[in-house]
Each structure stands twice: as C-alpha cells, then as structure tokens.
Chain A
C-alpha cells in the first residue's frame, strides 16, 4: 500500500501548525470580541482533529501551539504572552491540560483502532493462508486417493495377466523339460501323448485368455475416453438376441436356455454388434455363475412408450444387494472381491463394465435384480426405441476435440 504525503509524520506537524494558525486567523477576522471560551472549544476540536488524523505527537504540538495562540490573541492583554487576570491563568492551564489529555486519548483510541484493524487483517491473511493450505491438502488427498485406486487397478491387472502367464510358463517348461531329457537321454520320459496335448491345450487356452483380457482393456479404455463409436442402424431385437445366442452356443451347452421375447417389438436404432456383445456377456456370466443344467432365461419386452427392456436371468447363488452396483466396476468380481461362495470365475472382470459402457452410450440403463422367487441373478438393461434423428457420424468426445 502506498502511503500518501498526508500520512507522513512531518505532515502532522505542518497540519497542526497550519490548522491552528488558520483557525486563529478565522476567529480573529470573524470578530475581535469572540468569547475566549468559544475560541478554546474551537481550538480543542482542532487538536482532536490532529490527534485522530496524525497521532499523539502532532496532537501535543497542536495543543501547545493552540495554547500559545489562545494566550497571545484572545486573552488580555492581547498581542502579548503575558496574562493579566489570575483566573485566565487557570483557564489557560485548564485548556492546555484538556487539549493534551483529549489529544492523547483520541490518538491512543485511533492507535487502538488501527491495531484492531491490523489484527483483523492479519486474521484474514491467516484465514486465507489456512484455506489455501486446506485446498492444497484436499488436492493432495484426492491425488492420494487416485494413486490408491491406480495401484488397486494395477494389482487387479497384474493378477489377471500373471495367472494365465503362470499356467503357460509351467506348461511350456514341462514340455521343454521332457524334450531336453529325451535329447540328453537323462531319465525316464513319462509324459504321454495325452499329457503333451493337455499341456498344449492349456497354453492355447491361456494365450486366448490373455488376448481377451488385453482386448477388454482396450475396449474399456476406449469407453472411458468417450471414444466408443456406435454404428447405429435400424435393427430387430430378436435378431440381436439370436446373434448373441449362436455365438454363446459352445458355452451354453450345459444349460437350458429359455427365450421370452415379446411379439411385435418395435425396431431399435442401435449398434447391433455392440448390443449383441452386451447380451453375450450377460449369457457368459450366467453360465459361469450358475450350476450346469440350470435354466438361463433371456427376456425382451417393451417398457413404457419409448424403451425396450432386455434381460438375462440365471438360477445361480445371486449377488448380494450391496454388491449389485459394484459388479459394474472394472475388475470387480463378486466371487473374489465380495466373498460370494462359488467356483472361481474365469472372466476378465471387465465384461460388465464394458456392457455398462455400451448401454450408457445408447442412453440406456443397466442394473441387477434378484431372479424369480428372489433367487438367482437378473441383469436388465434398457434401450431407447430409435427416433428418426440421424446420428450416423461418429461421436466426438471432448478428449478427441482437445487433441485436434
């Protein structure tokens, strides 16, 4: 803050001298016979003014000056510093004491007010600092949380990569070991043809599992970046379901599949490949989490004026209510992370997260309910019945735009 000229200490003394001088002159010109009491009060006010504006020392100077002026100009005999009447001595002394005291008091009141103001400003400054510190702390906390999340995801990913890798490595070294022993004719070779094929099957299946996992990661990353590109066309719900079912044929052999599709469903404007992927994922989960020979029901019906509701239901152990939202989180598995007793799932932990991404990109919703009679799991999702609006171009996400 820049201090003005008037704030300088010397300005106080100058102001004291000038104001007392000016006031004296004014009073003198107004009339030679102004009452000394009036003059005293006016001068006193002047002292107070100097005190509140410039503090105690200029006020003291003003007091003394005012006393001299009062004596010289307004107490008889005029024009001298001598005083004739004794009571005027008393008046002058009283004036001086009053002026000095009032000046000092008001100056100190001013000082206190200033100190209070400075204190208030200091508190404000501290508060702002504290608020900044809190801001920084909560930012650090958010970062820490996000780091924690990242490391949990990393754990899940490394587990899902390492598990198939472990089987592959163990299989391949078993085969290698046998070949080496055969070459070195070291000892009995006890890997029969069947076992060799089994080891190679494991390698084959586990390589596929790694591939699926990596594809899932890519798809998920795409959904999260908002870069899922839907190719929307008019399609029929029953065709979407039958595409998914024929793809799921090898995995549903041990289950009974029941279809419950409402007749004369309106067409939907969706990305058929993506939606059939959702249905396939739900069927795949149903086969994994329900006993063989149980029934999997696939349903489709109209819901309200503008929605189609599709669902896949199984007779498995079901998912506890508190885990139903979390199963859509990536890498979350109710059996592993939620301690639901069941056989080990062989999924990637990404299927439902991807399904959710696809459904939401179609402005639909996906959720979980209990199956019939409160048993099993029913996963339902909605798709809006397509309007005539053309959405043929790929959707550009904010991220894509920023990168351009």
Chain B
C-alpha cells in the first residue's frame, strides 16, 4: 500500500479542525492539524504534507503570512478557507501563491473536490517538470520549442502573448489565478493594474480554443478575482 496523501489543516477553531480531520480521514487522507500559522509552519517542516488547508484570520501567524512563508520554501498546494467579507484577504492570499479557496460555511464535498483538483494539478505540474520541451494537460499539447499548440488534436495559431498566456494557464491548471498574478506573469510587473489587457487577450484566446466562446469550458471566470484554467479530460 502506498503512503496515504498527507493533508495539514491549519485553523484556530478547534471544532472545525476536529470535523475536517475526521472528514478527510474517512476519505483515506492522513491528516494533522495546527491551531495557528506558526504551529502550521512548524508541522509543515517536520511532516512535509502534500497539501495545506488554512484559515485566513488566526492569532500569531495568520493565513496570509503562512502562505508567504510556505511559498518561500515549497510549491505545496494551498487551499484557503475564507469568509464572505474577507474578499480582499482572499485575493491577497491567492496573489501570494495560494491555489484555491473555499468560502465558509462549506460542505465537505466541496472541500474534497477542491482537494482532489489541487492534488491533480500538483501531480501534472510534477510530471511536466520532467520534460522541458513539451507540456501535456487534458485537451492541450504544447511544444515549447516550436511554440506549437494543439487543442483536441487540432493545431491553433496564437500570437506570442496569447501563447505565453495559454502556457501559463496550462502550467497552472485548476488553480485560481488573480488578474494581478496573470498580468505580472505574462506582461510584467508594470502592468498589474491593466485588467483590460487581460480581458482582451482572454477574449481572443477563448475564440481560438473554446468551441463556444460565449460559454467557455477551459478558461473559466472567477468573478472579481481572476480566472481558473480547466484543461478538460482527455
């Protein structure tokens, strides 16, 4: 039997960590809990979990600081638990490198689905890491050397910026990407406030890769936050 996937839950609310521990364990995950960011970071260093679920508002080291510290040393998938009214903090967490968020109160199914998606993305990323020249994800195949992209086996023609944007999407499939993150990654730090650039390029990309640009299935809009890329199932 392979080692079970390890999940670290960081929340200052003991009742919630109790429930999450039980709920996640019942699905075969190995779970540890920490009561604040500081304890969470220490547990991470000792135990090397495969995924971290963290609350945002916590005493001592909060969720944002935890994201910052974790990203400095690891690419572990991070899911933040946020509440309505914490939108600003949530976006900040995503900018700092959190992968996804779940809004409280949530059903366990929703959390489990996000956990699976984040783990899948991490695996794909790890696999792609092995090859420098090609990228395979769902319906997409990318040759990074010849800069050719095929969608569902069909070759598409992209401008250089569209290509960069799509490759960034594919590399971060399943992850919620804020407008700021995308602009900084593709256009550079001076453009992080230029949301309209992004809107235009996403619009163009959708026309080229989606079968119906009006109801996209690859580049999904996360209202007020940014986009999430779903590569589709092969």
> Nearest-CB distance from B148 to chain A (Å)?
40
Contacts of B83 in A (CB 8 A): 158-159, 162
Complex interface residues of chain A between 137 and 170 (CB less than 8 A to chain B): 155, 158-159, 162-170
A206 with B26: CB separation less than 8 A = no
A343 interface residue per 8 A CB criterion: yes
A170 with B26: CB separation less than 8 A = no
B104 interface residue per 8 A CB criterion: yes
B85 with A167: CB separation less than 8 A = no
A166 with B108: CB separation less than 8 A = no
Pick the contact of A166: B16, B25, B27, B59 (CB < 8 A): B16
A166 with B106: CB separation less than 8 A = yes
* Chain B 19-63: CB-based contact to A (< 8 A → 1; otherwise 0): 110110111100000010000000000000000000000011000
B13 interface residue per 8 A CB criterion: yes
B13 with A163: CB separation less than 8 A = yes
A199 with B22: CB separation less than 8 A = yes
A170 with B106: CB separation less than 8 A = yes
Cα–Cα distance between A51 and B19 once the two chains are bound (Å): 98
A202 with B18: CB separation less than 8 A = yes
A-B pairs with beta carbons under 8 A, tally: 84
Interface residues on B, range: 20 to 34
> Nearest-CB distance from B186 to chain A (Å)?
36
B107 interface residue per 8 A CB criterion: yes
A173 interface residue per 8 A CB criterion: yes
* Chain B 74-112: CB-based contact to A (< 8 A → 1; otherwise 0): 000000000111000000000000000000111111010
Pick the contact of B22: A166, A168, A174 (CB < 8 A): A174
A174 with B108: CB separation less than 8 A = yes
B106 with A155: CB separation less than 8 A = no
A171 interface residue per 8 A CB criterion: yes
Cα–Cα distance between A173 and B15 once the two chains are bound (Å): 15
A336 interface residue per 8 A CB criterion: yes
Cα–Cα distance between A190 and B15 once the two chains are bound (Å): 20
Contacts of B18 in A (CB 8 A): 167, 198, 202
Cα–Cα distance between A188 and B29 once the two chains are bound (Å): 13
A162 with B15: CB separation less than 8 A = no
Chain A interfacial positions (CB closer than 8 Å to B): 155, 158-159, 162-171, 173-174, 177-178, 188-191, 195, 198-199, 202, 205-206, 335-336, 339, 341, 343-344, 346
Chain B interfacial positions (CB closer than 8 Å to A): 12-16, 18-20, 22-23, 25-28, 35, 59-60, 83-85, 104-109, 111
For the complex of A and B, the 7 pairs showing the least CB-CB separation, nearest first, are: A173-B107, A169-B105, A174-B23, A166-B105, A167-B15, A173-B108, A166-B104
11 other A-B residue contacts (CB within 8 Å) besides A177-B108, A198-B22: A162-B105, A166-B104, A166-B106, A170-B19, A171-B23, A173-B23, A173-B107, A191-B22, A195-B26, A202-B15, A202-B18
